[in-house]
Homo-oligomer: A and B are copies of this chain.
Amino acid sequence: MYSVTVRDHMMIAHSFRGEVFGPAQRLHGATYVVDVEFRRPDIDEDGIVVDIGRAGDTLKHVLGEVNYRNLDEVPAFSGRNTTTEFLARFVFDRMLVAILRGELGPGARAVQSLKVTLHESHVASAAYEGSVAPSA
């Protein structure tokens, strides 16, 4: 299995509901350094998994939807805790749609799975990984 990983970051504010979060129930924020890994069994005739330039541009576009925002006020996240895990899934879903729509080029449709990792500090991270085409 081959893979390619690209990195970017976003800086957001949010608060959590639930005693488990302790002081993180207050409005605070985070820098998320985001890695997106694209996996496929073979490389294409150019020798690549995915056009890394388009992959990076798409990731920047996806993060731009929430970057420099208070996630408590983003309608799409209403009633949800925007935890690192939840945001890893959010980025995964957006990248998946971009691949299916051909925004990373026709070759990217051969990508079988994605893993999105969000590093929230030097000591903690969360990730979501899943298939691009689950019903083979």
Binding site for B on A (CB under 8 A): 1-9, 11-14, 16, 18, 20-24, 26-33, 43, 46-49, 51-53, 56, 67-70, 80-86, 88-89, 105, 120-130
Contacts and interface: CB of A to CB of B under 8 A. Distances in A.
Contacts of A126: 2-5, 49
B122 A7 contact: yes
A1 to B, nearest CB: 5
B122 A33 contact: yes
Interface centre among A7, A26, A32, A52 (most CB of B within 10 A): A52
A129 to B, nearest CB: 5
B81 A2 contact: no
Contact of A11 (B30, B33, B43, B67): B30
A47 B1 contact: no
A18 B53 CA distance: 13
A133 B3 CA distance: 21
